[in-house]
Amino acid sequence: MAVKRRRSSVVPPPPGCPLTACMQFLKGAWTPNVIWYLREGPRRFSELMADIPGVSPKVFSARLKRLEQDGIVTRQVMPTSPPTVEYSLTDLGQELTPAIDAIVQVGHKLKRRHAEQRFNKTN
């Protein structure tokens, strides 16, 4: 006997849904990491590169430019010799930090749960 398929009672998001737009933005390569490390204050490019291992300078530079275009990050050239650049979160970027913090907290819980499941399988 076939099981009847139940229809969802949840209304699908409207076109151009803000949730979808935000999640599309956050899934960009290295975006959550940049927001995470800039939440405490300005950082230079080399400092951010050291904080986020595994990203190439070319890709990371492109990501920072995109974040600047999106109004999440500001780029300030410092009058030093040689010139240095500092990145910081805009007010809009700061608004994303509670969401990133919440995602990190859920990530910790998921990791603990996964570790417990592995432990229980071996015992």
Tally the domains of the chain: 1
Q: CATH number, domain at 38?
A: 1.10.10.10
- 9-58 confidence digits (pLDDT tens): 887 767 778 888 888 878 888 999 999 999 999 999 999 999 999 999 99
Q: Specify the pTM.
A: 0.78
* Domain assignment present for 16: no
Contact 93, 38 (CB under 8 A): yes
* Domain assignment present for 55: yes
* Domain assignment present for 68: yes
User: What does the pLDDT read at residue 22?
Assistant: 84
Expressed as residue numbers, the domain containing 37 is 21-122
Contact 63, 49 (CB under 8 A): no
CA distances, 27 to each of 6, 46, 88, 109, 122 (Å): 30, 23, 20, 20, 34
Average pLDDT across the chain, whole number: 90
Q: Mean per-residue pLDDT for 74-99?
A: 94
User: What does the pLDDT read at residue 116?
Assistant: 86
